Each structure stands twice: as C-alpha cells, then as structure tokens.
Amino acid sequence: MSCFPVDCLDWPPDFRFSILRDAASCWRVDVVRLALARFIFRTLDLNRALSTAVTSPPDNLDTLYEGPRALDYIHQQQIIHLLIDAGTDPSCFNGIVTHLATHIDLVGALKALLERGADPNGRGLDKKATALHHPGGPAYVNNGPERHLHETGIRMLLDHGASVLERDTESNAPLHYAAFGSNVRCFRLLASKLPPDADASIVNLKRL
C-alpha cells in the first residue's frame, strides 16, 4: 500500500476546471502550474481560463497596498505562457488582443500573447476595429478614469506584424485614429510603417 497521501482524488471535470479558472483569474501562477501538471483539461476549458487571466488586476490579491505589484503582472504573464503551452489558442476569443491594447497596465499580458502567436490584427467583439486602432487614442490605466497615450502598445503590435492598413467598419485606418487622438510621436511611428503603395487617403494624412 502506498505511503504517499492522495491529494488528487477523482474530482469531476467541472471542479478541476473551477480550480484552474479561479487560479488564473486571481493570477495564482503556482496553482495554475500545479493544476496543469496534475490534470488534463479540454481545449475549451483552457481557452476559458485564458480569458479570465487577461482581465484587469483582481481585487483579492493578498497585499497591503493599493493596486498590483510588478511581480503580480509577471505572474499574469507566466500564467498566459503556461496556458498557451498547455494547448490554449492565443486567439481563442475575439477581442482579447484588442482589450489588452486598450489598457496600459496590461501591456505585459499583451506581450505574452503576441509572443505565443496571438493575431496582432485581431478585432474587438464588435468587429469594428483592430487592436492597433485603439492605442491611437488614450488608453486606460488600472481600469480607472485616468488615461494616457500607449506608445509601448503601438510598438509592440507593430513589432509583431500588426498592419497599419487595416480599416475599421467606417474605413478608417489606425493612422486616422492617431491623427485625432494621439501625439506627433505616435502618429509618426504609425506613418513610418506605411508601404510605398499605400492608399492615397492614408498617405495624405502622413503629409499633414
């Protein structure tokens, strides 16, 4: 008879998933790592866990300060890597990349997704615009009212292949958004990626 304690009983799949989902949403990287090592999850459940891991900082972090620490954001990135390496589709749900591109504090999660193959031209749930359109204007900070320009997000998307030529549902390119909601630095950054044969309506913006 084995002398080792049994710490993984025949738990039903729903209970196993709830452990993974809750740990991912609270950025508990050790619990996520343990769950992935002990249990086998369906791809659908892995995808659902990823969707909870890329949200804004959880409210129940065991800390005595206001807001998450840098270490918490590192844990979030590690969880994203673990889930994708376990079989999660980094582009499993519409809007994930777009959501991250609109939140400055989640830039690490955006980086983790893009590094693991997420579509840099992914669109939001409404399909109106790509992720690169949104940093053309001020982005949210910590899910609050404060907003700032998100040059890092723009550079990250461009470095991973985001297209400056993609149009939204009203035929606006990311450069149009930057012309009205950003600064000269971000505008020029986007304009520098225009190909020589770009549409005239976009090229004319570059000359403003």
* pLDDT value, residue 83: 98
Indicate the pTM of the whole model: 0.84
Break the chain into its structural domains and give their ranges. Answer: 11-89, 95-208
pLDDT of residue 100: 92
pLDDT at 53: 95
The string of DSSP codes covering the chain is: ---S--------HHHHHHHHHHHHHTT-HHHHHHHHHH----HHHHHHHHHHHTSSPPS--S-SSSS--HHHHHHHHHHHHHHHHTT--TT-STTHHHHHHTBGGGHHHHHHHHHTT--TT-B-TT-SSBTTTGGGS-EESTTSS-EE--HHHHHHHHHTT--TT---TTS--HHHHHHHHS-HHHHHHHHTT--TT--HHHHHHHT-
* Architecture label for domain 95-208: Alpha Horseshoe (1.25)
User: Which residues in the chain land under pLDDT 70?
Assistant: 1-9, 57-68, 198-208
pLDDT at 200: 53
pLDDT at 203: 52
Maximum distance among all alpha carbons in the chain? Answer: 79
Structure confidence by residue, pLDDT tens digits, 163-177 = 999 999 999 999 889
